[in-house]
Amino acid sequence: MRVALLTEGGYPFARGEGTAWCDRLVRGLDHHDFDVYALIRSSGTEAGGRVDLPPQVRRVRAERLWGEPPAAALTPIRGGGRAARRARRAEFLWHYGEFAAALAGGAALPPAPRAERFAAGLYGLARVAAEGGGLPELLRGPDAVAVLESACRAPGVRPLVADIVVTELLTVAGTLERQLRPLSAPWYGPADLAAADLCHALSGGPATLPGLLAKRFSGTPLIVTEYAVRAREALLALRTAQLPPSARALLGAYHRLLAAESYRQAALITSGSTHVTRWQLRCGARPERIRTIHPGFDPGRFAGMGGAQAGGAEARRVGVAGAGDVEAGAVAPSASEAGAVATGTALVRAAGASASSEAGVAGVGAANANASEARAARSGVAAVGGTPVRAARASAPEAGATGADTATADAAARGAGMLADSAGRPVLVWVGRPDPGKDLAALLHAFLMVRARRPGVRLRVCHLRTGDPRAVAYLGHCRALADRLFPAEEAGGSVGFEEIGSPGGPDLAGAYAGGDVVVLSSGAEGFPLTLVEAMFCGRPTVATDVGAVREVVGATGLVVPPRDPRALADAVLALLAAPDRAARLGAAARERALALFTVESWVAAFREGYAAVAARQPLPSRIAPLPPTRRPPSLPATGERGRTRTRTAERARPPAAGALTAGGARP
Amino acid sequence: MRSVGRAGGESVLPEGQGAPALRRQAAGDPVRQMMRAHGELLAGAVDEWEIAAGLEARGVTDGDARRLRQPDVFGLAAELLARAPRTVARLDGGPNRTERALLPRRTGLRHALPGAAAAVFPALRSPVLGAGLAVFVAVTAWAALRKGPLAVPRGGGAPWAYALLAYALYGPQAVTALSGRGPFDPAAQVPSFAALTLGLVPAACWAHWLAVRSRAQLAPSHSLADYADAVRPRLAVALAGHAAALAALLALLTPGGPLAGPAALGLLLFAARLLSGHGEPLPALAALRGAALAETCTLAVAPLGLPLPGTAPEALACGAAFLFLLPPTFRALSRPAPHHP
């Protein structure tokens, strides 16, 4: 099948947004041919170069949405005299008038006719570009500004827009010219988009424009995939750019109407989380065409860490090999510790691997524990999209271990030794990109409360490397706050800031491995990658209830309200006080992540979606990965509603609340 | 339809009355509390979509909205939009950038170079040096027009402009010679040609002045008609100013020589350049082509011995073409566009 991938500001450019997951998807769908049609949002994206493309990507065509329009698009197609020129200009003015009227909206234009006029104008402009050429020149000419003005001053348009002034008109006209450049792209010939079996837009908004035209002109079906709501991002960007209100109203309407049109035309809309779905529905997407497909991640680099915790370990060594290999966490428990259990969990991705070889691989990790017996237990098989994902656990109980042969007992034993770092103190870990939205201040304040009730706990803030000056400034601010909150600390301190991947700093897997509880304190969040990674590592998590956090952790982590350090502290203390519960949650989280967020299930979902859309068959009712077949231990087997209740109950009064020393009234 | 206070960020509520009342009510009303917490977001918002996006970015969830008896964040945003005192403030477009209306010295020198070279032309006796100087004038003129206030995005009818300039240099003498009224003197028109070349400097000055003054009119103009009304007199001043400058240069360099022909040519080239620079090359092209063809016709009919003085055809052809260009020039320059306001 020949698939046209439509991107904007991302794949195949290394510095683009979401390039990593696009790359994983393309590599996963290796039996299709891909043509990539990329829209470039800024000069920086191009300067970063392209990623290595797999052979199934046949070609890449790129068009800029910044700077001057390409010369080829500027020159009108020859073959017309003055009369043809006039006719083309009149046609342009008519279609741009429809388009501008839809943007201006107003009392006289209810939603349905507004969307109709938007679509009519948009496709009309595309036809002008295809038949006469020179559309960018017309879009940025004085005629376009005049049309825009008369649309804004039309009766019934709300005063905010009707009061638009000349500078704002120019801003809007200039921005629209850049946004509409895909209409002039030389992509719609019979050898290009028209030859594709389907168009797959990897984000909403401008990336869908070529797909809309291909659908209109050659009937190519369209799939729209959104892991972030492009229209919402555009609204926020307009606000951040401090554009004047009337310009924001018009351009915001453009992004919304474009989203609505793309949802209307798409045969399949995939959404990364319920948060995205909510916006899609609000923008007019029909629920029967929306399918939730959670993003897939490669758990390879976290494999072997699922159970890599050992009681009273003096030293923790976590060996992580290159991604793709089967990895094992090597654990060295002290010989004096009775009842210590070393476990190594390996995710075996080779379909043909036998159970004994799995056990053998895992046994390497547990070699130091005098493994007398390796027992491989299939703890969960999630058969998703035909590719079984097998999590095999091999436990090697030391002599003297009693009854450590059920998963629950394993977990409990691990949990008994959970509270340990190199100095024997429990460690909280935060991992992520420094950004004001992450609300590290709330985390530090919560940690202050944790320390007040349970001294000796450490916090590691493991941040990713960043070159963004805003992020660097925020990090400095957080360090200053930490110094202020925890002033008289011994060397090393209770709060450590570490950069992942820096010399002497941990790598990503090591960062998770070094913590007993992973905390996410964000005030706002899209799809929380940190949580997924922590879940792959089998860490218990405490997270704030923002973005897609709830649907990611499900019932396998504690969720607290955002911007509430006390609730965060309570939840962390509850986990620290009940190590076996924490271990149970960690194990359940890993199972959940392996069932929901692997590349295999993700790619399979898209493969199924492609097949249904290309064959123009009705969509399968569910192409999202199935939930785990086996309930995690000790969690009530309930439906979605019941699970919500469980979480709410946990949040309201943590089961371990009795162990806490002081309650303290919540604000 | 809600009316929106737009001027200078004024609140609809009178200062000193509304604010304390709001604060008193806020203690009991959670929605009011939220309005106060996100006052800055609400004050500048244009619709509920923007508020919903902004609330989510600040961590407000559907759960928070339900606590405020709204179905979700969108409902909450609509409620906040309806209840917030609207203080949509127009940004002043940042710090007001004032551009110098005077041509930068370096640009001025670049435009003066070909004229200065042409002015020393009559002093040269050697034909080799003369040819070299001619090449120098051509190259420096091309370089001056490539960038700066007289630059055009795409070809502005250059061949026709060269034909007109060639006629300015040799045309009148050719007409005289062809009609048998005198010998052909190739150096006779050089001083007026030098004046025309020096005219690049006032042309650049006026074009720059016009561009700066026009841009300055963008911000205060409310509608496109306001802008046009403000720009038209400035364009007239620029054209008249250039005409005066050309007349002064011609009077200085060719005392008692013909004035109308070279001045009309200078004005025509100026107007054509302005028009092409504003994305309307077609009328400019038509005017230049018409003038050049008309002048060629006078060369063709010269042997018939019509009683015409040497520079009259040039004045007539260029003057008519300039008049033809005036309406499109006024129309084009008084309409702003994103890439050449």
Q: Is the dihedral of CA B334, B337, B340, B341 positive or negative?
A: positive
Residue B296 within any structural domain of the chain: yes
Confidence of residue B60 (pLDDT cuts 50, 70, 90): confident
pLDDT confidence tier of residue B332, bands split at 50, 70 and 90: very high
- Residue-wise pLDDT for A609-634, tens only, equals 999 998 887 777 655 443 333 333 33
Kind and range of the H or E run holding A496: strand A495-499
Both B70 and B157 in one domain: the answer is: no
B279, A141: Cβ pair inside 8 Å? yes
Give mean pLDDT, residues A41-53.
87
Give the count of alpha carbons within 13 A of A581, CB side only: 19
Indicate whether A660 pLDDT > 60: no
Beta strands in A229-327 (DSSP E): 268-271, 290-292
Q: Is position B339 within any domain?
A: no
Instruction: Please give the pLDDT value at position A618.
Output: 75
In a domain, B67, yes or no: yes
Strand order in the sheet with A222-226: A57-64, A33-40, A2-8, A198-201, A222-226, A268-271, A290-292
Maximum average pLDDT range among A562-571, B61-70, B93-102, B132-141: A562-571
pLDDT at A107 over 70: yes
Same structural domain, B189 and B293: yes
**What distance in Å separates the CA atoms of residue A646 and residue A258, rounded to the nearest whole number?**
40
Task: Tell me the backbone φ, ψ of residue A345, rounded to 5 degrees.
Answer: -115, 125
Identify the band that residue A401 occupies on the pLDDT scale cut at 50, 70 and 90: very low
Q: Which residues of A touch B335 (CB under 8 A)?
A: 142, 145-146
pLDDT tens per residue, range B192-239? 888 999 999 999 999 999 999 999 999 899 999 999 999 999 999 999
Q: How confident is the model at residue B103 (pLDDT cuts 50, 70, 90)?
A: confident
**Binning pLDDT at 50, 70 and 90, where does residue B89 land?**
low
The band of B273, judged by pLDDT with boundaries at 50, 70 and 90, is very high
Check if the interface score ipTM surpasses 0.95. Answer: no
pLDDT of residue A657: 32
Q: Looking at the domain assignment, is residue B46 inside a domain?
A: yes
pLDDT the model gives residue A412: 38
Flag whether pLDDT at A654 surpasses 50: no
Q: Is residue B89 part of a domain?
A: no
SS3 label, residue A457: coil
pLDDT band at B171, cuts 50/70/90? confident
pLDDT attached to residue A507: 84
Per-residue pLDDT tens over the stretch A635-647? 333 333 333 333 4
**What pLDDT is recorded for position A102?**
96
Residues of B in CB contact (< 8 Å) with A are 1-4, 6, 44, 46-47, 49-50, 53-54, 56-59, 61-63, 72, 74, 88, 90-91, 93, 218-219, 221-224, 226-227, 279, 332, 335-339, 341
Which of these, A20, A62, A71, A59, lies nearest to A41 by C-alpha position?
A: A62
A523:B91 CB<8 A = no
Q: Specify the 3-state DSSP secondary structure of A161.
A: helix
- Does A420 have pLDDT greater than 70? no
Beta carbons of A348 and A389 less than 8 angstroms apart: no
Distance CA A544, CA B60 (A): 12
Burial A103-127 (b: 16+ CB within 10 A, else e): bbbbeebeeeebbebbbbbbbbbbb
Residues B79 and B109 in one domain: no
Q: What is the distance in angstroms between the Cα of A98 and the nearest Cα belonging to chain B?
A: 20
Band of pLDDT at residue A524, cut at 50, 70 and 90: confident
DSSP state of A525: -
Q: Is the pLDDT of residue A84 over 50?
A: yes
Domain with B55, as residue range(s), is: 7-83
Contact A249 B46 (CB under 8 A): yes
The confidence band for B162, taking pLDDT boundaries of 50, 70 and 90, is: confident
pLDDT of B88 strictly over 70: no
**Whose structure tokens read 């795409």?**
B154
Q: Identify whether B11 is part of a domain.
A: yes
Domains of chain A, residue spans: 7-64, 71-189+201-292, 299-416, 427-598+638-659
Angle (CA) A102-A103-A109 rounded to 5° is 40
Query: What count of Cα atoms within 13 Å lies in the side-chain half-sphere of residue A247?
Result: 25
Query: Final residue of a domain: which of B32, B48, B83?
Result: B83
Q: DSSP string covering A620-635, please?
A: PS--SPPPPSSPPTTS
Q: Do B58 and A524 make contact, defined as CB atoms within 8 angstroms?
A: yes
Which of A235-239, A403-407, B73-77, B255-259 is predicted with the least confidence, judged by mean pLDDT? A403-407
Higher pLDDT, A21 or A667: A21
Q: Cβ separation of B90 and A244 shorter than 8 Å?
A: yes
User: Is B91 inside a domain boundary?
Assistant: no
Test B1 with A158 for CB contact under 8 angstroms.
yes
User: Is there a single domain that holds both residue B48 and residue B162?
Assistant: no
Q: Is A108 left (phi over 0), alpha (psi -120 to 50) or beta?
A: alpha
The chain-wide mean pLDDT, for chain A, equals 76
Residue A332, classed as helix, strand or coil, is: coil
A246 vs B contacts (CB less than 8 Å): 46
The residue-averaged pLDDT of A437-456 equals: 90
The pLDDT of residue A125 is above 90: yes
Do residues B30 and B68 both lie within one domain? yes
Of B93, B219, B338, the CB nearest to A177: B338
> For residues A362 and A328, is the Cβ–Cβ distance under 8 A?
yes
pLDDT for residue A360 = 33
Angle, vertex CA B39, rays to CA B38 and CA B40, nearest 5 = 95
Q: What pLDDT was estimated at residue A400?
A: 34
Confidence (pLDDT) at B121: 76
Query: Phi, psi (5° rounding) for residue A71?
Result: -60, -35
The two most distant CA atoms of chain A are separated, in Å, by: 97
Specify the number of domains making up chain B: 2
Ranges A293-307, A326-340, A535-549, B241-255: which has the least confidence: A326-340
Structure confidence at residue A345 (pLDDT):
30
- Rounded to a whole number, what is the distance in Å from the CA of A68 to chain B's nearest CA? 9
Quick one: pLDDT at residue A623? 55
Look at B337 and A167 and tell me if their CB atoms are within 8 Å.
no
Please count the CA atoms within 13 angstroms of the CA of A315 that sit on its side-chain side.
5
B40 and B144 part of one domain: no
Domain shared by B149 and B194, yes or no: yes
Same domain, B70 and B207: no
Within 8 A by CB and 6+ apart from A40, the residues are: A9, A13, A46, A62, A63, A64, A65, A66
Binned at pLDDT 50, 70 and 90, residue A215 comes out as very high
On the question of pLDDT at A664 being above 60, the answer is no
Higher pLDDT, A5 or A423: A5
Q: Which helix (H) or strand (E) holds A33?
A: strand A33-40
> What average pLDDT does this structure show over A488-507?
77
> Hey, what CATH topology would domain A427-598+638-659 get?
Rossmann fold (3.40.50)
Rounded-to-integer distance, Cα A187 and Cα A639, Å: 47
Q: Is residue B44 domain-resident?
A: yes
Residue B165 confidence (pLDDT) above 80: yes
* 8 A C-beta contact, residue B111 and residue B148: yes
- Residue A606: pLDDT above 60? yes
Which chain B residues are Cβ-neighbours of A563 within 8 angstroms? Answer: 59
Q: Any residues with CB less than 8 A from the CB of A439 and at least 6 apart, and which?
A: A521, A522, A523, A544, A562, A563, B59
Of these ranges, A312-321, B26-35, B272-281, the one predicted with the greatest mean pLDDT is B272-281
Whether residues B202 and B297 share a domain: the answer is yes
Average pLDDT over residues A464-469: 83
Assess whether B196 and B77 both reside in one domain.
no
Least confident segment among A113-117, A303-307, A424-428, B174-178: A303-307
* Residue closest to B336 by CA, chosen among B217, B209, B205, B206: B217
Q: How far is CA B126 from the centre of its chain?
A: 42
For A109, list phi and psi in degrees, rounded to 5.
Answer: -130, 90
Average of per-residue pLDDT values in chain B: 82
For residue A236, the chain B residues in CB contact (below 8 A) are 53-54, 57
- Both B78 and B109 in one domain: the answer is no
pLDDT exceeds cutoff 90 at A469: no
Under DSSP, the state recorded for A12 is: B
Q: Are B223 and B316 in the same domain? A: yes
Amino acid sitting at position B220: P
Q: How far apart are CA A506 and CA A512, in angstroms?
A: 9
> What is the phi/psi pair of residue A392, to 5°?
-110, 135
Whether residue A369 contacts residue A414, with contact meaning beta carbons closer than 8 Å, is answered with no
Q: Say if CB A304 and CB A345 are below 8 A apart.
A: yes
Q: Are strands A387-397 and A341-348 parallel, antiparallel or unpaired?
A: antiparallel
Q: What does the pLDDT average to over B88-107? A: 69
Please give the residue that has the higher pLDDT: either A660 or A437: A437
